[in-house]
Amino acid sequence: MKKFILFFVVILTLLVINCQLSVSKAFAQEFSLSISPPLTQILIKPGTKVTQAYQLVSSGEGGLYSMHLFPFSPDGINGEIDLDETSQNSSWFSLLTPQITFGEKFNIPAGSTTTVVLQINVPAEVAQKDYYYSLIFQSENEKSLGESSSQTRGRIGSNLLISVTNDENPFKIAEIQKFSAPLIIDSLTKINYSFILKNVGRTLFKPIGRITVNNLFSRRKTNLELAPQNVLAYSERKIFCLKEESLTDCNLDSPVLLGLYKAKLDFTLDGESKIYQAEVVTLALPFSLIIVLAVICIILTTVINKIKVKNIVADK
């Protein structure tokens, strides 16, 4: 009898496991793709050829994919992009591995790592300026359903920033669009520095530098390192600060003490010699402390007055 029960339990368990696997296969067909590198930046002279490798890791279902290359332009101040899917410029680009054309389908097996090699052949007569592209990998898998449905196609991209120039150090020029902080703040709050940088030239750059905050009373100095984020040609970007590997707001984190805070912005473009500078001053006053003290004073005065009135009444 015991053997029969054990046999029954084992069979039941196997059936349940099999059933669960079938369900996940039927309803959980997913798209999952990783790409490396996420960004490639190339300074190249006209008439030159270069190749770049990409690694794709498929963690979801395998299947058919296609590759596309679209130009993009910066959109907004936070590094967003606006893909132009109407004007493919494939004449510069070709695929060495796999040997297919853009838009052609190729197979990526489930759980596999695939290497894609892109060749970039910059024509000799091309204008010397920046060109920005996104290499897009698109799932072409379809699941036929006998009912009304939407099919989803996942697409993942990697950005390609190409500066075409004969000059090793192309001309770069920036404008400090905004460097600001509150004029007066409460002593118990943080000071937030807002920095928007504008590229008014035709070549991208990264700001290399810092915000140095100096308390003019205590002489205490704090450095906030700027994140070396790319500012693309003829665009603006909000520049964050860097703490270890994280992008953070440029805040004076420690509780601000009473006094005058002078923040000096100092940076160069890609470490070149020209230094860009700006300053803002913030006055920290203990408003919240004054309010607390005022409330305490009012309460104390009221209590004392009430006691005095009671004593006068009692004396009478």
Q: Using CB under 8 A, which residues numbered 248 to 277 contact other proteins?
A: 270-271
Structure tokens at 192: 């937030």
**Binding of other proteins by 93 (CB under 8 A):** no
The CB-of-132 to other proteins minimum distance in angstroms stands at 8
Closest CA to 286 of 191, 218, 184, 216: 184
Shortest Å, Cβ 187 to other proteins = 29
Contact in structure between 133 and 162 (CB atoms under 8 Å): yes
For residues 104 and 64, give the distance between their C-alpha atoms in angstroms, rounded to a whole number.
Answer: 10
Residue found by looking up tokens 């006209």 in the block = 46
The DSSP letter of residue 147 is: S
Q: Of 11-19, 39-47, 191-199, 277-285, which part binds other proteins (CB under 8 A)?
A: 39-47
Site for other proteins in 42-71 (CB under 8 A): 42-45, 48-55, 57, 59-61
Q: Which stretches does DSSP call E strand in 181-220?
A: 184-186, 191-199, 207-215
164 binds other proteins (CB under 8 A): no
Which of 66, 114, 139, 215 is in the footprint of other proteins by CB under 8 A? 139
Contact letters for other proteins, residues 281-310 (x by CB under 8 A): ------------------------------
Size of site (CB under 8 A) for other proteins? 77
HSE-CB for 260 with a 13 A CA cutoff: 6
Q: Is 19 in the site for other proteins (CB under 8 A)?
A: no
Structure tokens at 241: 């600060």
Candidates 13, 20, 73, 78; binder of other proteins (CB under 8 A) is 78
Residues in Cβ contact with 297 at an 8 Å cutoff, skipping those fewer than 6 apart: none
Tell me how crowded residue 103 is: count the other CB atoms within 10 A of its CB.
Answer: 12
- Work out whether 176 is an interface residue with other proteins (CB under 8 A): no
Q: Does residue 154 interact with other proteins by CB under 8 A? A: yes
Least gap, CB of 263 to other proteins (angstroms): 21
